[in-house]
Amino acid sequence: MITSVLVANRGEIACRVFRTCREVGIRTVAVYSDADENALHARVADTAVRLPGATPADTYLRGDLIVKAALAAGADAVHPGYGFLSENPGFARAVLDAGLVWIGPPPEAIEAMASKTRAKELLGVAPLRDVTEADLPVLVKAAAGGGGRGMRVVRRLADLEGELTAARAEALAAFGDDEVFVEPYVEDGRHVEVQVLADTHGTVWALGTRDCSLQRRHQKVIEEAPAPGLTPELTHDLHETAVRAARSVGYVGAGTVEFLVAGGRAHFLEMNTRLQVEHPVTEAVFGVDLVALQIRVAEGHRLDDDPPTARGHAVEARLYAEDPANGWAPQTGTLHRLAVPDTVRVDTGYTDGDPIGVHYDPLLAKAVAHAPTRAEAVRKLAGALAEAAIHGPVTNRDLLVRSLRHKEFSSAAMDTGFYERHLPELTEPAPDPHVPLAAALADAHGRSRFGGWRNLPSQPQTKRYAMAGEEHEVAYRHTRAGGLEADGVRVLHADARLVVLEADGVRRTYAVARYGDAVHVNQTALRALPRFPDPTAQNAPGSLLAPMPGTVVRVADGLTEGAAVEAGQPLLWLEAMKMQHRITAPTAGRLTALHAVPGLQVTVGMLLAVVEPA
């Protein structure tokens, strides 16, 4: 009987496993890096053990340190979560050799399936060896990968070597293994997967299907269960293949078999020998707790002969601290507030006031809606996200809401190319024009009426805000009665937190929160601008500024000051949040300055290089 579990992971997955452990009466142990000293998962665990260092290579990828932490804290079992060492057979063996219970599949099963090359060979699918023009486009993938790290689409043969190098570097940083392989890239297919669960007595469940087609950078954004639009015959084939894959390696525990469905056919992709980020949609539809079942299986209990029956539909959206309109650039800073309506399930590793750093994945939370039908579940999730208060760095919340309400998604006609086709329309700014005024009126409230009011008519008070990439100037006046007024609208109420306006007969309410110069009005973020801009805070045309904090890991071969460059030419690569981000020339011209060198730690806005336009 398991009494204490160490979760060899961080963030929302650690918090999610801890929740189940508390419900079944199991003591919890967290591990944390120096960067995660005050992270939620370290705070909520019964015991927490420090892993000295900040990078994954020094902390969450150090299996020896994690095993020592489990023994020191008195844990009798280890749950790997997902990512990091969750699919590392050496780590699983180290846990077992230490006399601990491993809440996962046997090391031999991980070994057979964790390498995607060996998994494909096991099911008769061979990776590409010598890539030619006829094979394009192809996909470079990390053999031990997951979560989109170490994946690159290659459409030109000349780009292959560079993308292989970048994929190897990402894979090594994220998984401690730089093996990559190449396979044909099937465009416009649907990403469909099957959840399996197996015990030590020979029972294997196939718990329905999930559709994970909405992806950016090959990392899932919106998932649902069951996968819509599949024929009963295809669903049966997917289940049969998934069960066969699990049985072929003597699988035990929770795992996922992934496919690409195109033209009515299913192409095997890989088997993930761990719990998936999107497992809550399966839990909602089947009414199970997969973590609790993992623990029961690890304790040797039998599964029922038949899996539970599916009911309804569930949809999950991943909330990331990233800017979809700016190349999906990850964002950092303080998450001042995260409040999602309780009509949906929320799994998160953050609370109000927590910092979002540069070392790990920018996933903030997962929101999951369950309803009798797909249309109801989608509507429910979109409505909850639209109402959520998310104050802090830029997130993909608006993109999620628009994606869920897009006609292609609502009609279940989406595929993995969804964002390539629709990203511009999904990120087009459409702010409420009265939001800056609401921010100004809230800020003006509470000031002395004698400081703003004049005995004689005078110029109105003005304020400037940056919103959706544009500057907005708004004007208002103090009235003799101590209130506020503005042209074109009626100010029905204004205080520091709430403004009510009426325009064209329509009344609207605005909730306002301010954190320094950052202002959040309902779901819109603004930045208060100084009344008199600093004329020295200007950058030369063609300046390349760091879009995120991170580390310069590579500069293009042969790139020196004075070199001629083409628009869009890759100049350097930044590593942040376990991904490599390419910085390209904004225009054709000449490189007049190059400040970036490998190993340089950069902050947002730091000058990296200057390209003088031709």
Catalytic residues: 274
Contact indicator for 106, 300 with CB cutoff of 8 Å: no
Give the other-Cβ count within 10 Å of 207's Cβ: 26
* CB neighbours of residue 455 within 10 Å: 6
DSSP state of 324: G
Closest CA to 11 of 39, 31, 38, 53: 39
Helices (H) and strands (E) in the chain, counts: 16, 38
Which residues are paired to 390 by β-bridges?
Answer: 338
Q: Please check whether residue 181 is in contact with residue 127, taking contact to mean a CB–CB distance below 8 angstroms.
A: yes
Q: Is 533 exposed, middle or buried (0-12, 13-18, 19+ CB in 10 A)?
A: exposed
303 bridge partner residues:
none
CA distance 173 to 125: 27
Distance CA 162, CA 201 (A): 47
What single letter denotes the amino acid at residue 181? F
Instruction: Please answer whether residues 116 and 43 qualify as being in contact, where contact means their C-beta atoms are separated by less than 8 angstroms.
Output: no
SS3 201: coil
Secondary structure letter of residue 261 according to DSSP: E
161 Cβ partners below 8 Å, 6+ apart?
none
Q: Which of 212, 208, 251 is nearest to 114 (CA)?
A: 251
Is the distance from CB of 591 to CB of 561 less than 8 angstroms?
yes
Do 500 and 507 contact (CB within 8 A), yes or no?
yes
Which amino acid is it at 17?
V
DSSP state at residue 304:
P
Beta-carbon contacts of residue 176 (< 8 Å; ≥ 6 apart): 57, 61, 85, 88, 144
Three-class DSSP labels, 422-486: HHHHHCCCCCCCCHHHHHHHHHHCCCCHHHHCCCCCCCCEEEEEEECCEEEEEEEEECCCCCEEE
Cβ proximity of 419 and 188 under 8 Å: no
Among 384, 404, 391, 494, smallest CA distance to 449 is for 494
Give Cα 360 distance to the centre of its chain: 10
Contact criterion met (CB below 8 Å) for 248 and 227: no
